[in-house]
Amino acid sequence: MILDTLPTGPLEVNCYIVGCEETRKAAIIDPGGNVDHILQLLKKHQLEAAMIINTHGHFDHIGGNRELFETTGAELIIHQDDRPLLDRAGEHAAAYGLRVESSPAPTRELSGGETLQLGKLSLQVIHTPGHSPGGICLYVDGSLLVGDTLFAGSIGRTDLPGGDHQLLINNIKEKLLPLPESTRVYPGHGPMTTIGQEKLHNPFLN
């Protein structure tokens, strides 16, 4: 598996490129902006975008959707419960004095529990509402891409519309912490961590 990252957009969201080494098909996860840099990263790894996946619909994670969708023709995928957030992302950005390009409608809406096939890679969709109603994590080849569900030493904020603190805690404990402790965790902001590290040291989970 190819896995690379770069900070994108006004809030420096970690955008991840996941690629199949055999088929050269790639998923772009949470493109916050800086589309030129994302396309350069695809070219560097000789990858072709097959999917654009939003772990949730908050404006800082979707700013590159339209340009990437129109440039690459890749599928645009989000959980069905975050479709309203996706549709109103421009309004939400404006409330913070920021501007993002509106997103096209998704070509596929998830319900949770699906497996997305990316060449020879299988991306398991784990629905983890709490930060937002349709937040998802993606588990692939010993790596977990968590959006804003979990951070190194912290968790996603739950004071935004649709947030639910106890629901988020429950989902992390019931769906993520049972994964192998060696699982590498790649959050939407900040550094990588592991499931084992968060079990031991995350104050929100103890």
Tell me: the pLDDT tens digits for 106-130? 999 999 999 999 999 999 999 999 9
Query: And the tokens for 179?
Result: 């994964």
Class of domain 2-205: alpha beta
Give me the mean pLDDT over the 5-17 stretch: 97
Q: What is the reported pLDDT for 206?
A: 87
DSSP state of 185: E
Res. 28: pLDDT tops 90: yes
Distance CA 28, CA 46 (A): 14
